Amino acid sequence: MGFAESLQTLRKEAKITQEQLASHLGVSAQAVSKWENGSYPDGDLLPRIADYFGVSIDYLYGREGRRPELEQQIVNECAKIWAEVQSYNEGEKAFTEKLHRSLWAFQIASWKNVSEYWERPRLDKDAPRQASCIAFDTCYSFMGLDQGRDFYLFLRQPEGAKGYESWFADTAEVRELFGFLSDSDNMRIIEYMYSLKSFEFAGPDSVAKATGIDKAKIEKALSYLGKIGFGTDSPVREVSIVDGNGKNSEAYGVNITLGGLIMGLMAVADAYVHSPSGYSMQVTNRQYSWLDGAKLKECK
């Protein structure tokens, strides 16, 4: 496939007219028509044409395949990380950095006039709090940029009947969790439990010794956490053990997978009550209210 055919195919796939392409490039529609019929543009226009359609110059001339979609490019880049590292731990660090940079790229790209990547700010730990926020009608994202408090939250606006209102319609279990977390002893118990590694377990006596909290309260707290969710997907897992005296007892460990939700909950709550003093990147184009007043229901 030659240049003329490639250009015409790309233009039709993009569903734009010759006039629209010409306007973007700053040339006449007649020039675009000539290119699609066998002539060639000036050399300095080729990079602009290639960038506009997201292809390489070689692709325009039929010398290479089309660039993969962004999602596939991300997969390819991550596959290279795992192929090139010497250890899994090294790969985890490289993957995390790539993920963080990619999330930051999405934040800055929310400004439609941004075309160049720049590094996220490197803030000192004592610097005023900074964040990045996108508030569209279609989605919301919040990225903490403080040292030691970097996290990313993404919400896609639900469509149809299941909007954000659904989170306010039946809140009994959520309110119970918030009530549980409002107790400082319970927070201390969770803190201790998540100091355990995966597949480490501790009995109530060990938790009491480490925290100084009454054993009965610890057992009640662990029982509550163990009933949340479904079986092995509960925040706390219970196993039966035999102690040194041959007596049966229980020990508790944590679901490492759900641990990330606890940390995420704490990170969001911390950002909510200690709001940033500034935003390194902020887009607030949301036109609609967060909740539809016609759908509001009494909390159960």
CATH superfamily entry for domain 3-60:
lambda repressor-like DNA-binding domains (1.10.260.40)
Residue 246's region, left for phi above 0, alpha for psi from -120 to 50, else beta, is left
Domains 3-60 and 127-300 share a fold: no
Q: Which of 139, 140, 152 is nearest to 100 (CA)?
A: 152
State the alpha helices, DSSP H only, in 152-214: 166-169, 172-181, 184-193, 204-211
Q: Say what the pLDDT of residue 161 is.
A: 61
Neighbours of 189 (CB within 10 A): 26
List the chain pLDDT tens, one digit each, 300 residues: 689 999 999 889 888 999 999 998 999 999 999 999 999 998 889 999 988 887 888 888 887 766 667 787 888 888 889 988 889 999 999 999 999 999 999 999 998 888 889 998 888 778 889 999 999 999 999 999 988 788 999 999 887 666 788 888 778 899 999 999 999 999 999 999 999 998 899 999 999 999 999 999 999 999 999 888 776 688 998 888 887 777 888 899 999 988 899 999 999 999 999 999 999 989 999 998 888 888 777 666
The predicted pLDDT at position 251 comes to: 92
- Domain boundaries in the chain? 3-60, 127-300
For residue 90, the number of C-alpha atoms closer than 13 Å in the C-beta half-sphere is 8
Q: How far apart are CA 203 and CA 218, in angstroms?
A: 10
pLDDT of residue 232: 66
| Three-class SS state of 22 | helix
Record: fold of 127-300 = Arc Repressor Mutant, subunit A (1.10.10)
Q: What is the pLDDT of residue 298?
A: 67
